[in-house]
Amino acid sequence: MTLQPLRILHLNASSSGGAFVAAQRLSDALNGLEGVSSDHWVFDGGEGEFHLWANTWLKKKWAFGLHALEKLDFLRFEANKSIRFAFSHGKTGVNIANWKAVQDADIIHLHWVNKGFVSLNGLEDLLGLGKKIVWTCHDMWPFTGGCYHPRGCDNFTRECGNCQYLKQPGQSDLSNQVFKAKKRIFSNAGGRLQFVTPSTWLKNQADKSGIVKELIDIGGAVAMPEIKVIPNPIDTDYFKPRVLNSVKGPIRAANLEKSAEILENVEKDEAGDGLSISISANPFVLMFAAANLGNPAKGFAEFRSVCNGLVDLGFANVEALVVGENRLPNGDLGLKCAVKELGFISDAKQMRDAYWQADVYVTTSHEENLPTTIMESLSCGVPVAAFAVGGIPEMISPSGDHQTGWLSEKLDVESLIQGIAAYIEMEPSKRIKMQEASRSAAVANYGSVSIAKRYLEVYRS
């Protein structure tokens, strides 16, 4: 007798962004495990190796209309247009509880479900099916009164209200109403709702929420299970260093060529102090990636300062490799160094090719959970320089024998400049050691198969 496989359904609002990428990789990895059948359904976006709901002209218009309708309704509440897409009150959505794929699944796995996909009412209907729901929190929206990131506010630790995102904040404002609606919906889930966070930092934030801490503490059959921490997966067999040969280990050929040149220059240096990489003919490439370069929270301005600061220190061969849609004023990057603009990239091969060109990946984002780009960069053997925000300190070892990059306090550009400058002038063997440590850390922590097995334990618990 053949046993029925465990049927898992992943749900996402869009076919772009980190939540989509993580869900697709997880679904693919789960399908490689025995006794598992995993499907990924996406509300709107481009086509790919997943099920797309908005697969006709009419459905695409419908999806756009639902999102637009929610934002139009929010106009009467928003403090200003700058926060329009930083808050969702879960007003609109499609009735996914009636989808055959949902009805047939054993486990419903939610990822990022805003943008007019799953409303609060739809979430309540979904939880009412009696199925186990696993929800990976890719931001803080599941346990706040509507914001994705509170930006210093701690009202979510109580019951929201007096929200900085709203035109007329008050004790019983929209955020308070959304917060109370979520708490009621989750309390009726009967312990079947399992939150997962990709980082310990995000778990700590969730544990502070007035929704979560009360539902976990109540005990009994209606209690919410303790939040699990499972990183997002990447394919470390695909995101790997470009190697010169198998004997040398996972080191990019570009770095080995650069290292050989430096060693030759050092041998020729009669003073014995060696020559700075900054006068080498080969460019030293700093990579930056963000969906929208014009979003101040993504930190392109700080990346610009890093690049220009290195040039000011005399590193004339620094080159910037910039990934993302250029929505900066007048499109001016303001960089003193040479630059390659790749535009927005959604293709994995193009991203891997970009990492292969880079010597250091720089992320100066002001708010993050557990960036996929850091995982991919490390897996390609490229060290990372970043602000110590969100879950990023869990990803980077800034010192010691297993150093994989550099961390600084938020907006402390100077520390990043000094760290990268030291790396540029570091002797080749030490740089190679950092590259190997970066690769090893990614394989140990983010490999898709091991992450899939950890999720399988959650599904079956």
Task: Compute the average pLDDT of residues 191-197.
Answer: 93
Residue 251 pLDDT > 90: no
For the chain, what is the mean pLDDT?
A: 89
Are 340 and 320 in contact, with CB atoms under 8 Å apart? yes
Residue 265, pLDDT score = 38
Residue 329, pLDDT score = 85
Task: Compute the average pLDDT of residues 162-177.
Answer: 96
Residue 208 pLDDT > 60: yes
Residue 219, pLDDT score = 63
CA pair distance 278, 318, nearest whole angstrom: 7
Residues in the chain: 461
Q: Sorting pLDDT into bands at 50, 70 and 90, what band is 34?
A: very high
Residue 2 pLDDT > 60: no
Assigned fold of 6-234+448-460: Rossmann fold (3.40.50)
Q: Please name the residue ranges forming H helices in 270-427.
A: 300-312, 348-357, 372-379, 413-424
Are 78 and 71 in contact, with CB atoms under 8 Å apart? no
Residue 131 pLDDT > 50: yes
| The 3-state secondary structure of 113-176, one letter per residue | CCCCCCCHHHHHHHHCCCCEEEEECCCCHHHCCCECCCCCCCHHHCCCCCCCCECCCCCCCHHH
Closest by Cα among 261, 338, 278, 326 to 300: 326
Domain with CATH 3.40.50.2000 in the chain: 253-446
Q: Sorting pLDDT into bands at 50, 70 and 90, what band is 253?
A: very low
Residue 458 pLDDT > 80: yes
Residue 256, pLDDT score = 37
Q: Sorting pLDDT into bands at 50, 70 and 90, what band is 221?
A: low
Residue 299 pLDDT > 80: yes
Fill in the amino acid letter for 162: N
Task: Compute the average pLDDT of residues 269-274.
Answer: 33
Residue 422 pLDDT > 60: yes
Task: Compute the average pLDDT of residues 89-108.
Answer: 96
Are 265 and 280 in contact, with CB atoms under 8 Å apart? yes
Assigned fold of 253-446: Rossmann fold (3.40.50)
Task: Compute the average pLDDT of residues 385-407.
Answer: 95
